[in-house]
Structure 1
Amino acid sequence: MRHTLPLAPQFYVTAPQPCPYLPRRMERKLFTALQGDNAETLNDSLSKQGFRRSQNVLYRPACADCAACLSARIRVADFKPSRSQRKAWNRNADLKRQASAPWATEEQYALFRRYLDSRHANGGMADMDIFEFAAMIEETPIRSRVVEYSAPPEPGSRHRPLVAVSLTDILDDGLSMVYSFYEPDRIRASVGTYVILDHVEIAREAGLPYVYLGYWVPGSPKMGYKANYDALEIYKNGTWQDIGDPETHSGETHPLSVAPIAEQVARITLPDTRPIRG
């Protein structure tokens, strides 16, 4: 199925496939190519409308009978870490951050494999080889950074082992954490929490108002943790709003919560503010 407007991005819908977050549900994605001179502008605009980037594609869930996936972002100016998050920050205070242009390395891939094997052995990325991993990291038409976190060297060594990585896009209003992975042996140290907290600090230092975390999915153990962050907003019914009580969003799994694809496309606004007609 294709919905298009002359001289505008073309939007497509994927075929249904099993949902990775909620059992007994099927997912579809609405997506468009991210390319050309206006790639950054399009990415900035659609990110504000609940889209996410994967290489040179922007996508948003468009499931037939469920609207549970809600794009989430932290308001940097209002964010205050919880007690447990402050402990996670202190436990990882010895990590060193280094940000660079998106370039894949063998050490990154080795960490990525350990992370998948421990946390997502049956996920959609489980069979990703090093060439596909390099494409995920390096194929970006916009401003992106690889943010690496390394631990102190072992006794007798000068090498700081890599323990966490985030592929991060720089938007006009914030940082978008495209994909993160970390050393599974450091789960108890909450290194994943630390990486998010550090991105809040990076955004604060850069004067950027938001950190985009991807999708929060009510009822999903994999994605529910995002509701634990203070000053969290979700994109729902065409607007950003404070998450409030997470329990109030459980109705988004009801089939009547979903608008038809043509209506979803018609509501998308391009960077020049012209609406797309399906």
Structure 2
Amino acid sequence: MTELARLKFYATQPHACSYLPEEEATTLFLDPSQPMDVGVYADLSEMGFRRSGDHLYRPHCQRCTACVPARIPAAQFIANRQQRKILNRNQDLQINMVRPAFSEEYYALYARYIELRHADGDMYPPNREQFSTFLVRDLAFSRFYEFRLDGRLLAIAVTDVLPNGLSAVYTFYDPDEERRSLGRFAILWQIAEAARLNLHALYLGYWIKNCRKMNYKTQYRPIELFVNQRWVVLN
């Protein structure tokens, strides 16, 4: 923690919240001149920070504490009946780990996903520069996990491999493959991968109780939430 005490952070001006329209959001960023050190990143993840592109951040809102960091302890996770069905349904997929890179194949999948699933979000409309700035970063700990069926790309889970766990940065997938529940499968696979690597947890970003889009995160149990500066198990 001594090293963390020397770090500089900057807060944005209040802006419209992407998840709760009635709220204003403020974001706390690590000084962008600070090198992206995996040890610092891991320590900050324990304090609720996330990565977006080249930035480490967490919400720092004045009036609202709705964004709660969430993680799944990998060794304790037990899949429920529905999750076991999703795992079985996707046993035919091949999963490859590659370093982040731009390709037209990746971008085409990302663009279709944003256009059909998130046309109401901040990342619409998609473009190549946005895709690269957000996800294609030359960082030693970042991975693209490809999910393919007979060579056809169905999904990519962008994941950071940290000393204390895997961090699920972003997942995008083929919107036409709804039956496979690829978003949920990617989380289940990453939990299993964290356990295989003997890492403590899969970090899932922020859970917001009153945001419907975030409700899926509490379907993975046990789940730990960062509340009052400590991780607690949600009952």
Contact 2:111 2:127 in 1 (8 A): no
Distance 1:34 1:238 in 2: 24
Structure 1 stretches of 4+ with a deviation exceeding 3 A read: 33-38
Match of 1:98 in 2: 96
Q: How many residues align?
A: 233
Which is richer in strand? Answer: 2
The equivalent position to 2:180 in structure 1, one of 167, 184, 189, is 189
Shift of 1:215: 0.7
Structure 2 partner of 1:252: none
Report if aligned partners of 1:55, 1:135 keep a CA contact under 8 Å in 2: yes
Q: Give the Å deviation of 1:190.
A: 0.9
Q: Is 2:206 the counterpart of 1:208?
A: no
CA distance in 1, matches of 2:208, 2:102: 29
Instruction: Give the alignment of 1:1-150 within 5 angstroms.
Output: 8-33=6-31, 39-150=37-148
Question: What amino acid maps onto 2:156 in structure 1?
Answer: V
Whether the aligned pair in 2 keeps the contact of 1:39 and 1:142 (CA below 8 Å) is no
* Aligned 8 A contact 2:27 2:60 in 1: yes
1:224 maps to 215
* Residues 35 and 206 of structure 1: CA distance in aligned 2, closer, same or farther (over 3 Å): farther
Q: Which runs of 5+ in 1 are unaligned?
A: 153-159, 245-278
The AA in structure 2 aligned to 1:129 is N
Task: Identify which of 152, 163, 168 aligns with 1:161.
Answer: 152
Task: Summarize the Cα distance change of 1:220–1:38 in structure 2 as closer, same or farther, 3 Å threshold.
Answer: closer
Q: In 2, Cα distance between the equivalents of 1:140 and 1:231? A: 33
Contact 1:233 1:240 in 2 (8 A): yes
- Asked if the contact 1:34/1:141 (under 8 Å) is kept, the reply is no
In 2, Cα distance between equivalents of 1:90 and 1:100: 24
Change over 3 Å in CA distance of 1:140–1:63 after alignment to 2: farther
Shift of 1:19: 1.4
Q: 2: CA distance between counterparts of 1:187 and 1:48? A: 33
CA contact (8 A) 1:19 1:25 kept: yes
Q: Letter of the 1:222 partner, please give it.
A: K
Q: What is the deviation of 1:118?
A: 1.4
Cα separation, 2, equivalents of 1:34 and 1:78: 35
Quote the Cα distance in structure 1 between the aligned partners of 2:164 and 2:224.
Answer: 14
- Secondary structure at the aligned position of 1:147 is classed as strand
Distance 1:178 1:140, change over 3 A: farther
Match for 2:182: what amino acid? V
Q: Aligned partners of 2:40, 2:33: CA distance in 1, in Å?
A: 9
The CA deviation at 1:166 is 1.1
Q: Go from structure 1 to structure 2 and tell me whether the alpha carbon gap of 1:98 and 1:150 turns closer, same or farther (over 3 Å shift).
A: same
Q: TM-score, normalised by structure 1?
A: 0.79
Q: 1:148 to 1:136 in 2, by over 3 A?
A: same
- Between stretches 43-52 and 32-41, larger displacement belongs to 32-41
TM-score normalised to structure 2 length: 0.93
Task: Point out where structure 2 has 5 or more consecutive residues left out of the alignment.
Answer: none
Percent of aligned pairs with the same amino acid: 39
Distance 1:140 1:51, change over 3 A: farther
Partner of 1:178: 169
Larger Rg: 1
Asked if 2 retains the 8 angstrom alpha-carbon contact of 1:21 and 1:223, the reply is no
Deviation at 1:185, TM superposition (A): 1.2
Distance 1:149 1:33, change over 3 A: farther
Distance (Å, rounded) in 1 between the aligned partners of 2:83 and 2:233: 20
